[in-house]
Amino acid sequence: MTLTLREGCKLVSCSASASSPGSERYRFGPSDYDEIGLLRPAKVDPLTGYRCYLASQLGQLNRIVALKELGLSLAQAKQLLAGITPQELQGMLMLRGAQLEQELAARENQLLEVEARLGYISKEGTMPAGVRDRVAIHPA
């Protein structure tokens, strides 16, 4: 069974975005993977230029996508894949997941602070009448 990179990406959940009407381009296109020897197609259709991959290559594609999600370039991914074990990759992904969780928690705290500030600002002009009568504002 052979697959296009698009079909393979669907199986390993990598994203595609349209670069022009009627054509899809992945963050790094099939030719990028092929040019540096990261993922060679099993065959290339001479008429359409479509690159076809074997189902057995999905593991490699999944590892490439995982390394890209860690922020590595294709060249760095190639170097790592030459000598990385699945357990090492799993450890790297777990570490990245923990980092992302910390970043998310920090962002959530920032959001809470922004929401609190918005609440304070919206209440500035709406003091209860009893309090407003007791507060005297003296010019400086």
pLDDT of residue 105: 96
Both 62 and 113 in one domain: the answer is: no
Task: Check: pTM over 0.75? Answer yes or no.
Answer: no
Both 14 and 38 in one domain: the answer is: yes
**57 vs 10, which has greater pLDDT?**
57
Q: Report whether 58 contacts 12 (CB < 8 A).
A: yes
Both 27 and 46 in one domain: the answer is: yes
Both 41 and 72 in one domain: the answer is: yes
* Number of structural domains the chain divides into: 2
* Residue 112 in domain: yes
At 2, the pLDDT band (50, 70, 90 cuts) reads low
* Residue 140 in domain: no
The model's pLDDT over 106-137, given as tens digits with 9 standing for 90+, comes to 999 999 998 988 888 888 766 555 555 555 55
The model's pLDDT over 13-66, given as tens digits with 9 standing for 90+, comes to 443 333 333 333 333 455 778 888 888 888 888 998 888 888 888 888 888 888
Residue 97 domain boundaries: 85-123
pLDDT of residue 136: 54
* Residue 49 in domain: yes
* Residue 32 in domain: yes
